[in-house]
Chains A and B, each alone.
Chain A
Amino acid sequence: MTNWLITKNNSKVNLLDIPTLEMSQLRSEIISQEKRPVGFFGKDWGFGTTRLFVILADDDNGELLISSAMFSAEQKSYESLTQDVPSFHIFEREFYEQFGIEPLNHPWLKPVRQNQDKYEFFEMKGDEVHQVAVGPIHAGVIEPGHFRFMCNGETVYHLEIMLGYQHRGVEDMMVKQPSNQLAESICGDSVIAYNTVYSQIMELLKDIEISPKAQLIRKAALEMERAAIQIGDMGAVAGDIAYAMGSAVFGVTRTLVINTMLEWSGSRFGRGLINVGGVNFDISEDEIKLTLKTLDKVAKDVDRMAKTMLKNSSVMSRLEKTGTVSLEKAKEIGLVGMAAKTSGIPLDTRFDYPDKWMKELNFEKKPFKGVGDVNSRFKLRYKEVKESLSMVRKILAKLKDYEKEPVLVNSNKELSKDSLAISIVEGWRGEVVHIAMTDGNGNLSRYKIKDPSFNNWYGLALAVRNNGISDFPLCNKSFNLSYSGNDL
């Protein structure tokens, strides 16, 4: 028997086919594979036993590797992986918090989502060193989280981030009463990404093939979401460096994109658009025409403002070399998505795990040269807006070939038994991973969600080191990570 079950993105496997190894063996297997984790989570396996599932991503070949290990009721610890592969640090902390199985010699086994008030923060001592505590309620209208800065004067030595304030027990709720509406509310700025990935999971488990038209509409909506948020965040970065013109212009330009989403679906963020079995709304020919016209204006306005902004030397002096995450550090801590791209890791699951449309519509991964600072993150957003808008145009043009097709098929079916389904969708922040398991009766028994923010929050902590504390809002906005997606 092999040690890994190899599968693709958007696939369903039988639980019986997943190898079960000894933990020590699984540990050395993971280290020797040298691949990045997308899943590392436990499941209660009855009689006090716990089964640990590990899913690694082979981005070069577009494959996913699945394996597992069983912990008996007495076995309450194992030698931590983080010592050898640092990017596992957050996964092991989560596993420990959820199942109480301790990764021994983990360098920093602090809470992920619980017991914030009992945790003692890392402390630096010295005459000139002081702490600044911020949150959980922040100055702006954003989600809650606690930030503890260790500073020398205005320079930040280290930032500790404590999250979990948003914890709503989403994974449990997804098992008990899954719905599209719940999926949309896990992380409300990535409505399309979350709802698409949830719907794909359910379609896999129910063996439903959705129509090409519905697939295209989902794809178009995903790119619209990406464009809208990236434009909004370009405005937010401009706002944080007090460049009011950029903030205002990007703000109103984003409105054009999300109001187009409102025309498609009745909601500015595309809520209610996607359903298990397809999409709820068709896009009429008139709407396509209107959308194309709007997108032309959006592309032009973004281009104009971004160029004006990037020509301004006082803007550049704030963006360049601020909040840098080096390529080496990014690899070590396992950044994903946007944050990884800006540090020079070309991760993008749209292209690394392509579906048939990526080839058919000739979408290709375009390289991005980033050095991991705020400037790179701003420029990446600018690049992604342009790419997403052109992708939407192509997708909408393709829709004409499928005019008479239905957008929604019947989804009233039983779930497959004893299965594990995995789906990854590249949201605007990065890969959104959902994994679902069913039991012998065809009921959901475990639902695991991984937001890109889960990997990337530590990247923000590293980015602000040796920066002025006043640049923290700028660094934070340039990442714009999710609290609710992380806290679940």
Chain B
Amino acid sequence: MFDTLKSRIYQGNQFIPDIPNAPMRKQFRGLPSLCNGKCTNCNKCLDVCPTGALKLNPLSIDMGKCTFCGACKNICEAQAIDFTNYYKLASTNRDKLIITEGMTPEEYEKIAVEVRKEITSIFSRSLKLRQVSAGGCNGCEMELNACSNANFDMGRFGIDFVASPRHADGIVITGPISKNMAYALEDCYKSVPNPKIVILCGTCAISGGVFQNSTELNREFLEKYPIDLYIPGCPVHPLTFINSVLSFIREKK
């Protein structure tokens, strides 16, 4: 027992104190930064993009499709495409994930998440989520697990993953939704008591990502039920996830 206590003292406090303003390493590929004027229409970026997230004239990147692999940035000789390390990428509106020239982190933070009174009044202090992996590759799943580790400690905000949909206020979907998981996903959603929310976590969940052309998917669920929050990323960084959910359930200061 003394060894365990010594370890506790040796480790000290490992949590990140200020999650909403936590610094991110400069190498992280987050919100794209585009410069239409530099684009020479060479189409090279379109060829390397695995998911068709890019469009030219005017230049835009759909974060709902983007895997943040950076291939377009690497191939663009004109340096029209860059990625900032801004990590609060979520939006309540699918269309707002499409980034065009001039979108700055400050601007994006203002427009991305629409705060709704009925959400903040119920969930702002406690949000219990049931996660459903529907064809997820274990990337987003590992990062969602990391949200609860000693560094990120999501539980301090009252946000937790629970074992049963019956105890949950909403579901978090990862993965492109395989045919074989479509039934279980819908079943899970129906088991969550009202009022409930649906969060799409990761590029695969939002658009199918690299699997969008697969014949083994069944994404009907997304047409049937309302989606409340889209969180882009491949995989979603824990800071992205926690801050996205916070911005959705809490009033802006």
Q: Which of A's residues lie within 8 Å of B, judged by CB?
A: 113-114, 116, 136-137, 139-144, 164-170, 172-173, 176-177, 179-182, 185-189, 191, 232, 245, 248-249, 251-252, 255, 259, 262-269, 271-272, 275, 280, 301, 304-305, 308, 311-312, 482-484, 487
Pick from A173, A271, A308, A312: contact of B214, CB under 8 Å:
A173
List the B side residues contacting A140 at CB < 8 Å. Answer: 145, 161, 163
Sample of 17 A–B contacts (CB below 8 Å): A137-B133, A141-B131, A142-B133, A165-B180, A166-B180, A168-B135, A168-B217, A173-B214, A188-B136, A259-B25, A263-B25, A269-B139, A272-B70, A280-B74, A301-B11, A308-B7, A483-B138
Instruction: List A contacts of B144 (CB < 8 A).
Output: 141
Asked if B149 contacts A484 (CB within 8 A), the reply is no
Q: Are A265 and B27 in contact (CB under 8 A)?
A: yes
Output the residue of B25, B133, B214, B235 with the most chain A CB within 10 A. B133
Of residues 128 through 149 on chain B, the ones whose CB sits less than 8 Å from some CB of chain A are: 130-146, 149
* Distance to closest chain B CB from A284 (angstroms): 11
Q: How distant is the Cα of A311 from the Cα of B138 in the complex, in angstroms?
A: 32
> Is the beta-carbon distance between B139 and A168 smaller than 8 angstroms?
no
Q: B136 near A484 (CB under 8 angstroms)?
A: yes
* Contacting residues of chain B (57-99) with chain A, CB-CB under 8 angstroms: 67-71, 74, 83
Residue of A nearest to B180 (CB): A165
Q: B179 to chain A: which residues have CB within 8 Å?
A: 167
Once the chains bind, are B211 and A262 in contact (CB under 8 Å)?
no
Q: Say whether B28 contacts A262, CB under 8 Å.
A: yes
A280 to B178 CA separation, bound complex (whole angstroms):
31
B212 to nearest A CB, angstroms?
10
Known A136-B181, A144-B181, A308-B3; judge A176-B137 contact (CB<8 A): no
A451 to B74, CA, bound (A): 30
Within 8 Å CB of A271, what residues of B? Answer: 67-69, 139, 234-235
Q: Verify A142–B25 contact, CB threshold 8 A.
A: no
Bound-state Cα–Cα, A451 to B86, Å: 35
B residues less than 8 Å from A269 (CB atoms): 139, 142, 235
B1-48 interface with A by 8 A CB criterion: 3-4, 6-8, 10-11, 14, 25, 27-29
- The answer to whether the Cβ of B188 comes within 8 Å of any Cβ in the partner chain is yes
Most-contacted residue by chain B among A113, A168, A176, A191 (CB, 10 A): A168
Contact check, A252 vs B11: say whether CB atoms are below 8 A apart. Answer: yes
B205 interface residue, CB < 8 Å from A? Answer: no
Is B216 within 8 A of A168, CB to CB?
Answer: yes
Cross-chain contact of B210 among A142, A185, A262 (Cβ < 8 A): A185
Partner of A164, one of B10, B180, B214, B235: B180
| Chain B residue contacts of A177, Cβ below 8 A | 50, 213
A484 CB contacts on chain B under 8 angstroms: 135-138
Chain A positions within 8 Å of B170 at CB level: none
A262 and B217 form a contact (CB under 8 A): no
Tell which of A113, A143, A262, A308 has the most Cβ of chain B within 10 Å: A143
Q: B216 to chain A: which residues have CB within 8 Å? A: 167-169
Query: Which of these, B137, B211, B213, contacts A187 with CB under 8 Å?
Result: B137
The distance in angstroms between the C-alpha atoms of A164 and B183, with both chains bound, is 13
Please, which residues of chain B bring their CB within 8 A of the CB of A272?
Answer: 29, 68-71
Give Cα A273–Cα B53 distance, bound, in whole angstroms.
20
The answer, yes or no, to whether B175 is at the interface (CB within 8 Å) is yes
The reply to whether the CB of B232 lies closer than 8 angstroms to some CB of chain A is no
New A-B contacts (16) at CB < 8 Å, excluding given A187-B137, A266-B83, A280-B74: A116-B180, A140-B145, A142-B141, A165-B184, A166-B135, A168-B217, A185-B137, A185-B210, A188-B138, A188-B140, A248-B150, A266-B28, A267-B28, A272-B29, A272-B68, A487-B178
